[in-house]
Amino acid sequence: MVSAATYNRQAWGKIWNLHDLPEGCPVYQILLQGDLDGDLTLEPEELDKIDWMAFSEAVGDFQERAGLAPRDAKLGPVTLRRLRESYGVAPARDEVLLRLGEMEFRPAAVPVSEPPGPPLVGRTPEERSVASLWNRYGAAIYRQARANRLPVETALAVFCVESNLAYDPRTGLVIIRFEPHIFRRKAGQEVAFSRGGQPAEWRNLSQAFDLDADAALLSTSYGLPQLMGFNWQVTRHPDVQAMVLAFQDSCEEQVAGFFNFVEQNSLNRYILNADWRGFTRRYNGPGNVDVYSGRLIRALKAVNTLKEAGARLAV
């Protein structure tokens, strides 16, 4: 795993530059120590003079104060955006994170939807996963659950099993997973693919996109619910491209996509009857029903344990 110091050194010029950082923040001041000629730019030899360990510690301290998770001391797009906001600097919305054909993926306008009150804290890994989801996206989840007359607990558990994140904290891109067997059916072509985290998934999507753009987007799942592109009709968007870009722009769109899917596929009854095998078969497909439903049940137990300890899942 890349250390925070190495990540931050490599992020220079790719994710941010000196002018992207608020002048009053500690990380900016640490970078200035490497600006030996005082021209407010950093040459390669100047970058080598910077104390990247101290820089990373300052990033971690900010993440802790801001309640960001994971507290990994890495200055990625999400932390950068929050850092700018905390110093009254508008997010750099003209930045393009990635281009696929004519599609431009920009930093999310709504990367989180935080509920009021103190953040939840879990004891076990499962509880911490649920707590992290609620702390980031609880307001949107609660609003959608109430509007659809469904329990908040189910959405938290599903998101916990699916992606646990709306965006990759390193790149700011929506979390995805490319499914080559679906692309094969829709495009009638094979495409090379590999697993290994989000960089690999985006390479998969890009390679498939070059062969058949629509089939590639339809054959990929997106965001917190990992909603497949071919399910775009359940959303309010006119086509799959619009849905994908909306999911890139807002975690609230992702949460709404889950509840829309549940409503339009009549999964409400399985949730209300706690029929998790039936829900799994229709939400995640007939394969691995035992495995997926088991994960879902464990996530629900973690949600209920947090509630028993006093967590209030309401806004």
Residue 302 within a domain: yes
Answer with the one of 65, 92, 119 that is the final residue of a domain.
92
Residue 125's domain comprises 101-175+223-315
How would you classify residue 244: left for phi > 0, otherwise alpha for psi between -120 and 50, otherwise beta? alpha
Tell whether 145 and 231 lie within a shared domain.
yes
Torsion sign across C-alpha atoms 93, 95, 98, 99: positive
d(CA 145, CA 132) in angstroms, rounded, equals 18
d(CA 216, CA 61) in angstroms, rounded, equals 40
Tell whether 232 and 119 lie within a shared domain.
yes
Answer with the one of 39, 58, 92 that is the final residue of a domain.
92
Tell whether 144 and 265 lie within a shared domain.
yes
Mean pLDDT (10-residue bins), the chain, 315 residues:
82 75 90 78 81 94 89 86 84 74 88 87 89 92 93 90 87 94 95 90 95 97 96 94 95 95 93 91 88 92 93 89
Q: Can you give the CATH number for the domain in which 286 is found? A: 1.10.530
Tell whether 53 and 165 lie within a shared domain.
no
Residue 214 within a domain: no
Residue 216 within a domain: no
- Nearest Cα residue to 172 out of 77, 265, 56, 103: 77
Tell whether 136 and 255 lie within a shared domain.
yes
Q: Phi and psi (nearest 5°) for 270?
A: -70, -40
| pLDDT at residue 242, as a whole number | 94
Tell whether 120 and 162 lie within a shared domain.
yes
pTM above 0.75, yes or no: no
Q: For the chain, what is the domain count?
A: 2
- Nearest Cα residue to 246 out of 256, 264, 75: 256
Residue 45 within a domain: yes
Residue 193 within a domain: no
Residue 308 within a domain: yes
